[in-house]
Chains A and B, each alone.
Chain A
Amino acid sequence: MTKTEFPPSIRSRPVYGELEPRAGIFHLIVADGEGADAVIALFAKAADAASMLAKSHILYTAGPNGTDEWDRIAALGAAQAQKAASVPTLLFRLARVLQDVQMGTQIYLTGTEGLMGQAERDIMALGFPHSDIQKEHRGSTVRRVQCVHCKGVTENVRTDPFQCSHCGLHLFVRDHYSRRLAAFQGVNIDAEDRGQVPPPVERFR
């Protein structure tokens, strides 16, 4: 239930903190799966949880591992809270909500990297300063990976290497990460020794 510890990595790999309630005219909260625990912890830390909830909008979806804690989110009693059927549908809702969100809003992202990365990408494209965006990792560590060859993105990658869901090449998963694409980079593992693909190892769960 605690926040995920990632091993030290290269400088492009995102790092995550712990959500802290901050003063804001409004609170926009985006979460998936076990991120619900971080949302509940966030309000537990608030000096005046009731008034923070009255100015909060929560968007939630189940995690890639199936974890669904929507009932606990719904029970918080935020001014607005919606459950989306999937990450893509959550992002559609988020795009609409962002049209009305004003500067001075605090934004909280929690759950898996794929969700946080895509939400952050969309939020930053609108010019929100990243100092107003907090992120806390919870739950599954599966990765969103872009194939550097065909440019297709494979969601929820568990193993290294894995097979690109678009072009079928066998890719190894780098830590090199693009915030613009919200994805790690996948590179063909048998480009040099063709056909020699090591057995996949489950590195991300």
Chain B
Amino acid sequence: MSLDVEYAFDEFFRDETFVDDFTYRNSPAAIRRFPFPFDRDDYMYSVNMEPHVPGRKGSVFEKTFDVDEHYVSEMRDRARILAKDPLRCQSLPHMTLAGWDLLELIMESKAREYPQWFSLTKNGDRWRWINRPLGIDHSFTFLDETTLPCGPMEYITRQTQGDFTLQDEREGTLWVDAGMVTTQADWSLDFDIGMNFHEWHAPVPLAHEKGIFDRALKFLLKLQHGAPVRRFNWTMTVNPLLDTAPETYPEWGYMRTTLNQENMGHMMHLRVELQALFRLPRSNAIAFSIRAYLGKFEELVTVPKWGRRLHRVVRDIHPDLAAYKGFLRNRDAMAEWLSSYDDGAPTSPGWWPED
């Protein structure tokens, strides 16, 4: 596929890497707006969903699809991964219409919310899309695949941070029948594509028994167009690897064995997924966006409340969750490092830094 891009790095869009020399980091402003996912001092799975409505100004909840300082570098990383492994982006034949729905949703949202970077002009079905940070100025015919360099889902998700999956609704459940997955926490689209809601969630511990997936699915089947919802998920990642795929686990797994008290602060990252779910208008499919934010431990503890709370969550987490999330072997070392940022003072409810 040939999507010609010209990466426009500037004072805002950082030129950084998520592999090899790992130059990724957050600016002080990005740390302040980091989506810290813990609203209390402990954590267990729950059906944590709320309306995806504009949140606080400057926060990651302000826009439909948050664009931040890592945008251009993340898109370059995605192109790198897709060149090595095209199976990271797949769409079963019946999902093309849902791909167009997603393209429309993203283009309209970005053009409306970030006019300085994106613009969409429509002349009937002739659309002109401008993406300034990636140097794209492209006219095409909406719903005509021959006018795009690749499928509509691939086209737009090569230009949008976060992974995306598209779920078809049939037989009272959802089927993950398409996706762009290059920033995942250790699950394989190529293996899971075509599975239903309970099947692809099969490996998750404890949550099935708690009825969480039954309730979440029931809720999702009622999702209405124009009323998206969002939730958080999180895990831990050694080094700022956006792409912790099972496919490449032999390349990155050993990094988990290299942690110590000296390197913990810059090597260990809290990985937060801001997930949003949208009912799509033409296909009736559900789009799922999974936007990963990486925060170094040393960055997060600059917010005293987060340092205290992260220590308590890591220290007290259920071992099955720590094992599933892949940090059981490092849990004690992580808690030890974090303990020097926890003076035992009470923390205020909610995840905002200053409250």
Contacts and interface: CB of A to CB of B under 8 A. Distances in A.
A181 B329 contact: no
Interface residues of B, number: 26
Interface string A5-47: 0000011110000000000000000000000000000000000
Given A12-B202, A192-B329, A146 B191 contact: yes
B226 interface: no
Given A11-B202, A13-B202, A193-B257, A148 B329 contact: no
Given A149-B250, A192-B253, A180 B203 contact: no
A188 B247 CA distance: 9
Interface in A70-119: none
B256 to A, nearest CB: 5
Given A11-B199, A11-B208, A180-B193, A192 B256 contact: yes
Given A169-B250, A174-B203, A192-B254, A180 B208 contact: no
Interface in B201-215: 201-203, 208
> Main secondary structure on chain B at its contact with chain A?
helix
Contact of A176 (B193, B202, B250): B202
A129 B195 CA distance: 16
Contacts of B188: 148, 185
Contacts of A13: 202
Nearest to B256: A192
A187 interface: yes
A185 B187 CA distance: 11
Contact of A188 (B199, B203, B250): B250
A194 B254 contact: yes
Contacts of B190: 151
B108 to A, nearest CB: 33
Nearest to A183: B191
Contacts of B195: 12, 178-180
B198 interface: yes
A126 interface: no
Interface of A: 10-13, 146, 148-149, 151, 169, 174-176, 178-181, 185, 187-188, 191-194
Q: In the A-B complex, list the 3 residue pairs whose CB atoms are closest, starting with the nearest.
A: A191-B253, A12-B202, A10-B202
